[in-house]
């Protein structure tokens, strides 16, 4: 047995930056109803199918809801940027430099079989996920240099230097599996045979590919924990699978589904009118909105000039698209961290300028000048002023119009664009853009391919333009390197689809990943936002700061949403009153 680490104060929580919101002995999270009654059932819909009950593998498709069957060492709160609280681990000890963490397991913690959760189970889970888990999990867990069992209920993880500040939290989110369950079962084989979890729900019934039923576990060991108060209130949670979303919508209107999140502006506006008696709720979301945009592949010479990318941004009439296609339900995205305090707003401040000034030679002057703002139109579809500005920029970049065709001045090469998509819904976002491109003399085509072909071309960056979305959190970290770094730009299969290759961006990514204070993080993220925006690597599209949730009256929601909006684990069933 390994020698214990240097002692550290035992804690009930760990925050990425700053102090946890909830003090020791807190009663419940603020975004729940602690008086919510227990009972009833919740029927939800899912699209597609499933063929595996192992959610920890890429192999196979697992059903919705399995996250309530398994528990992690620590539990995340949803009204803080990134803070974890004691869960399977009753307490933690962390090195001042976060080079190691000790998890002290709650003696009451049990799997659904009644067997206690031990340090051996934690070690087995870590080793299994490190060697056979999803690729992103493997990459994180390999930053652990040693895992030492200190006692039957205590285990210490030690981390390599790179990324160690975030690693205690990443390990804290690790689900714990029973070692004994895999003595005769191969973890790496997808299966419809469930293995024991330690969470508030059990798998009661499975109809492969069609339905899964979860039953509330009255013997769940963690009902007394404050983070579980007011949560997991339904006696049963049922997921029915449908071949497409239109069928699922009809099932909701027939009251065969109790609630559904809507993602289509068109459906939210008009598709529910044939039903009556249901409710529409729109909880506010406090997380950064994903950056959904039309992406320039700057590896292609025609998109290498900033003026060209700016010109095409001027040619996109978002106001017309929002009014005529998106039912006016969206806002224009103006930041890679939109809808959050991380978004760069106004003119650059002194702290951001200090970070970016050494890189002035590679950055557009706009980074240091006026606040970033996308061009606007009157929404009429006749954006003449914007198109004149676009044409001027293209002329400055060395293009000329010849017989109505935009050509590169030196080579005479016509300017042509292929939009690569695998989602037919994107056509309606691109088609109005094509009309304006045609006015500029640019020929464009839309090529829709199957998922496998699309992924292959993305992996090799074989495209002109795509529509892509990057999600962000309130606590950005190591993932930014996968999104924007020079290494990512040169490595097939990353998410640096624009091909951004800037020393300033690499510096900011490093500062974000190693930030020790919230102030340092925010300053670095805002500076990164300014660089990405000023580079015009995407034409930003739209976002909403609301969830669109349709539900029947007996499904009740807490009054206070979290940063995530609302989720089924905080809802409850209350018999609807008759009129």
| Alpha-carbon span 384 to 366, nearest angstrom | 24
Spatial contact of 214 and 237, defined as CB atoms under 8 Å apart: yes
pLDDT tens string 393-404: 999 999 999 999
pLDDT band at 126; cut points 50, 70, 90? very high
Q: Where in the chain is the domain with CATH 3.40.190.10?
A: 71-187
pLDDT of 186 reads 87
pLDDT of 576 reads 66
Spatial contact of 555 and 259, defined as CB atoms under 8 Å apart: yes
pLDDT of 381 reads 66
Q: Which helix (H) or strand (E) holds 559?
A: none
pLDDT band at 539; cut points 50, 70, 90? very high
| Six-digit token string for 367 | 């980074």
Determine the topology of domain 71-187 in CATH. Answer: D-Maltodextrin-Binding Protein; domain 2 (3.40.190)
pLDDT tens string 311-344: 999 999 999 999 999 999 999 999 999 999 999 9
Spatial contact of 274 and 549, defined as CB atoms under 8 Å apart: no
Q: Is the pLDDT assigned to residue 5 strictly greater than 60? A: no
Range with lowest mean pLDDT among 133-142, 201-210, 475-484, 548-557: 133-142
* Dihedral sign, Cα of residue 113, residue 114, residue 115, residue 119: positive
| Alpha-carbon span 260 to 361, nearest angstrom | 50
Percentage of residues of the chain with pLDDT beyond 90: 88
Residue with the two structure tokens 């992996």? 459
Q: Region 69-73: what's the mean pLDDT?
A: 97
HSE-CB of 266 using CA atoms within 13 angstroms: 7
Nearest to 200 by CA among 230, 157, 172, 180: 230
Q: Is the pLDDT assigned to residue 420 strictly greater than 60? A: yes
pLDDT band at 49; cut points 50, 70, 90? very high
Spatial contact of 10 and 92, defined as CB atoms under 8 Å apart: yes
| Six-digit token string for 369 | 């000048």
Please provide the average confidence, as pLDDT, over all residues in the chain: 94
pLDDT tens string 483-509: 999 999 999 999 999 999 999 999 999
Q: Is residue 267 classed exposed, middle or buried when 0-12, 13-18 and 19+ CB atoms within 10 A define those classes?
A: middle
pLDDT of 575 reads 85
| Alpha-carbon span 366 to 79, nearest angstrom | 35
pLDDT of 498 reads 98
Nearest to 528 by CA among 459, 473, 480: 480
Q: Is the pLDDT assigned to residue 67 strictly greater than 70? A: yes
| Alpha-carbon span 548 to 528, nearest angstrom | 31
| Alpha-carbon span 57 to 137, nearest angstrom | 10
pLDDT tens string 358-374: 999 999 999 998 889 99
pLDDT of 1 reads 44
CATH 3.10.105.10 fits 291-543, yes or no: yes
pLDDT tens string 132-143: 988 878 888 999
| Alpha-carbon span 185 to 450, nearest angstrom | 35
pLDDT of 3 reads 47
CA 222 to chain centre: 27
> Which DSSP state fits 274?
T
Q: What Cα–Cα distance (Å) separates residue 439 from each residue in 378, 404, 405? A: 18, 8, 9
| Alpha-carbon span 81 to 92, nearest angstrom | 20
SS3 451: helix
pLDDT of 58 reads 79
Classify 392 in phi/psi space as left (phi over 0), alpha (psi -120 to 50) or beta.
alpha
pLDDT band at 578; cut points 50, 70, 90? low
Helix pair 384-396, 306-314: axis angle to 10 deg: 170
Q: What's the distance, Cα to Cα, between the start and end of the chain in Å?
A: 67
pLDDT of 380 reads 76
pLDDT of 248 reads 97
pLDDT of 80 reads 96
Q: Is the pLDDT assigned to residue 418 strictly greater than 70? A: yes
Nearest to 76 by CA among 64, 65, 86: 86
Nearest to 425 by CA among 250, 249, 288, 266: 266
Q: Where in the chain is the domain with CATH 3.10.105.10?
A: 291-543
pLDDT of 341 reads 96
Q: Is the pLDDT assigned to residue 4 strictly greater than 50? A: no
SS3 298: coil
């Amino acid at each position: 047995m390994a020698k214990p680490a240097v002692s550290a104060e035992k804690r009930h929580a760990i925050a990425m930056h700053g102090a946890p919101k909830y003090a020791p002995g807190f009663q419940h999270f603020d975004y729940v109803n602690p008086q919510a009654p227990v009972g009833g059932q919740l029927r939800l819909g899912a699209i597609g199918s499933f063929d595996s009950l192992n959610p920890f593998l890429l192999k196979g498709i697992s059903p919705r809801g399995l996250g309530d069957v398994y528990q992690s060492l620590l539990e995340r709160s949803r009204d803080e940027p990134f803070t974890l609280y004691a869960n399977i681990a009753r307490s933690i000890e962390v090195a001042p430099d976060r080079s190691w963490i000790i998890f002290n397991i709650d003696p009451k913690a049990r799997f659904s079989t009644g067997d206690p959760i031990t340090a051996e189970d934690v070690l087995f889970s870590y080793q299994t996920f490190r060697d056979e888990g999803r690729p992103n999990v493997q990459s994180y867990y390999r930053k652990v240099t040693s895992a030492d069992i200190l006692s039957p209920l205590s285990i210490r993880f030690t981390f390599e230097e790179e990324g160690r500040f975030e690693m205690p939290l990443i390990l804290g989110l690790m689900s714990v599996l029973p070692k004994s369950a895999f003595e005769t079962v191969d973890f790496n084989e997808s299966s419809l045979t469930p293995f024991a979890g330690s969470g508030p729900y059990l798998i009661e019934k499975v109809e492969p590919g069609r339905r899964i039923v979860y039953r509330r576990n009255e013997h769940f060991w963690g009902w007394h924990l404050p983070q579980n108060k007011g949560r997991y209130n339904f006696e049963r949670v049922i997921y029915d699978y449908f071949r497409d979303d239109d069928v699922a919508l009809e099932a909701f209107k027939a009251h065969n589904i109790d609630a559904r999140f809507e993602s289509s502006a068109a459906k939210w506006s008009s598709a529910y009118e044939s039903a009556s008696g249901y409710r529409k709720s729109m909880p506010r979301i406090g997380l950064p909105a994903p950056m959904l945009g039309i992406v320039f592949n700057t590896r292609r010479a025609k998109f290498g000039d900033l003026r060209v990318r700016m010109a095409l941004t001027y040619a996109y009439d978002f106001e017309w698209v929002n009014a005529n296609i998106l039912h006016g339900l969206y806002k224009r995205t103006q930041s890679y961290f939109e809808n959050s305090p991380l978004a760069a707003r106004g003119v650059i401040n002194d702290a951001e300028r200090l970070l970016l000034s050494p890189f002035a030679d590679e950055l557009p002057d706009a980074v240091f000048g006026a606040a970033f703002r996308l061009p606007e139109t009157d929404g009429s579809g006749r954006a003449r002023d914007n198109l004149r500005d676009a044409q001027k920029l293209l002329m400055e970049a060395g293009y000329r119009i010849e017989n109505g065709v935009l050509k590169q001045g030196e080579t005479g090469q016509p300017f042509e664009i292929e939009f690569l998509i695998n989602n037919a819904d994107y056509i309606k976002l691109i088609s109005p853009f094509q009309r304006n491109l045609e006015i500029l003399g640019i020929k464009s085509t839309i090529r829709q391919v199957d998922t496998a072909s699309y992924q292959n071309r993305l992996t090799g960056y074989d495209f002109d333009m795509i529509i892509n979305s990057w999600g962000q959190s309130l606590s950005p970290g190591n993932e930014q390197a996968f999104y924007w770094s020079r290494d990512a730009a040169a490595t097939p299969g990353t998410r640096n689809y624009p091909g951004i290759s800037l020393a300033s961006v690499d510096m900011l990514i490093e500062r974000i990943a190693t930030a020790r204070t919230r102030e340092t993080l925010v300053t670095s993220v805002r500076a990164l936002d300014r660089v990405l925006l000023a580079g015009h690597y995407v034409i930003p599209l739209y976002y909403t700061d609301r969830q669109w949730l349709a539900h029947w009256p007996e499904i009740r929601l807490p009054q206070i949403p979290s940063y995530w909006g609302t989720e089924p684990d905080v809802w409850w069933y209350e018999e609807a009153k008759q009129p």
